Amino acid sequence: MKHKYKINIDPPVPSDAQIDRHKDFGRTLAAYHNLTQPIYRKPLYKNPKAFIGLVLILTIAGLVFWAVEDEEKEKAKEKELMELPMDVKMAQENSFLKAPAQGIALQRVGFDIVGNKAQKITLNDGSVLTIPANAFELPSDMQPENVYLQATQAHSIAEVIAMGLPMQTDGKLIDPAKILEIKAFVPHAIGSRKEVTLAPGTKITIEVPVADNALQARQLFTLDPKTHVWNSAATAPIQPQPKRSNRVSLDPNDGFGVVEYDAKGHVIPKPKANTPKDEQPIQVLQFEMAQLGIVCLGELQGQPIGSVTYKARFTDPAGQPLRLLTLYGITKRRNTVAFLWPKSADFAFDLQVAPNLPNSYVGFLPDGRLATISNVGALDDSQDVHVLQMQVSAAPVKDLQELTQLIDGLAGL
């Protein structure tokens, strides 16, 4: 194989002067220092150029960071108006949301009962709970007499909002006549209690006084504690129980909240107070709870919600978009509330809770103030976004009573 080489025969020899032209030890030494001693090995205070350069770079980086951060803050502010915080989104996913004002809570009624005895408890609206003996599944080390029963009731829109209950099921609203939550606890540790459940196969019987004309339309719903969806309990027995007094009293002498038992565990009836002669018997519905939780006696509204979707922007009186944590749609002459979930200042949902009736909307701001707008009529389909100007309360709503007054005060309710 032949290789290509350039062959010089008797080449001229460079003179000493020509060789010395290339000789430069200073340059080689400098190259050596550059190679083995990078600039950062030299202390900054001995290298003013590098020091000034570094200061300049840091200053520019700081200015850029400052400018970017300002821009980010502006964007975050806009985003804050448009989007809700993470916890609310999670609540929205659960479709279950409490009002943000801490003071808005229902009054809960509690009873200390003896777990291994059958007993009856009368609530302040005349409802009677019949609890069989050994109804609760108690921890093995727990004495049966230490059961604490807690009952919570809701009837009005404000109370439904306070309980944070969604009132939609299968795209329809439930008009509640009565919502009842029953829980039972046993002492768990000092100052705390542990929730217990009903023993398998045990049922609590509930008798609720109702008006005669509502008997046929009422249905029983139970709230699934995990999904927060109302399930119709149509198979539960709902039987009219005539010949019962509709007298409601909070007087302990009338039996409210005080139960006495005989040796066999039977309730000793209290002597009745004087009964007015004009008192008329009313109907009583009876049903059973197979598990503790929330039940609702209510009427399904025929008009399905969510059939027409509009995009709405709720603003304050000055026209600034409001950041609403919760929003409820209320229809005239209906004792129900539609929960709407505002994700941003402009959001799409069925504004017309009841298309043929004026609707009102109530929403909580993050600081607990209440924003309201009433008598929203039919919406124009041609508009892309409907701007709805709300009135905002001067201060956060402090308790349930104030919330009830504000909602009742809305025109059209």
Partner 1 sequence: MKSTLNEKRMKTLERQRLNDTQLQQELRLVEDAQKDPRRFGVLYEKYYKQIYLFVYKRAGEQDLAGDITAQVFLKAMVSLPKYSYRGVPFSAWLYRIASNEVNQHFRNAKGDRTISIEKTQVDKVMGMVDEDKASDLSELYLEVMLETLHEMEPEDIELIELRFFEDRPFSEVGFIVGITENNAKVKVYRIVERLRKRLKAKLGGNYEA
Binding site for partner 1 (CB under 8 A): 1-11, 13-14, 16, 18-19, 21-25, 27-29, 31-33, 35-36
CA dihedral 76, 80, 84, 87 (to 10 degrees): 60
Query: Quick one: 19 or 76, whose CB is closer to partner 1?
Result: 19
And the tokens for 119? 């007993």
Residue from 351, 343, 339, 338 nearest 323 by CA: 343
Run of H or E including 70? helix 48-82
Query: Quick one: 14 or 252, whose CB is closer to partner 1?
Result: 14
Q: Minimum CB separation from partner 1 for residue 47, in Å?
A: 20
For Cα atoms 404, 407, 411, give the angle at the middle one, nearest 5 degrees: 140
Q: Minimum CB separation from partner 1 for residue 30, in Å?
A: 10
Q: Minimum CB separation from partner 1 for residue 1, in Å?
A: 7
Enumerate residues 6+ apart whose C-beta is below 8 A from 159. 106, 153, 179, 400, 404
Query: Quick one: 10 or 262, whose CB is closer to partner 1?
Result: 10
Q: Minimum CB separation from partner 1 for residue 42, in Å?
A: 16
Query: Quick one: 18 or 383, whose CB is closer to partner 1?
Result: 18
Q: Minimum CB separation from partner 1 for residue 48, in Å?
A: 24
Q: Minimum CB separation from partner 1 for residue 34, in Å?
A: 10
Query: Quick one: 12 or 317, whose CB is closer to partner 1?
Result: 12
Chain centre to alpha carbon of residue 192: 24
Run of H or E including 204? strand 204-210
Query: Quick one: 28 or 320, whose CB is closer to partner 1?
Result: 28
Handedness of CA 389, 395, 398, 403 (dihedral sign): negative
CA dihedral 314, 316, 320, 323 (to 10 degrees): -60
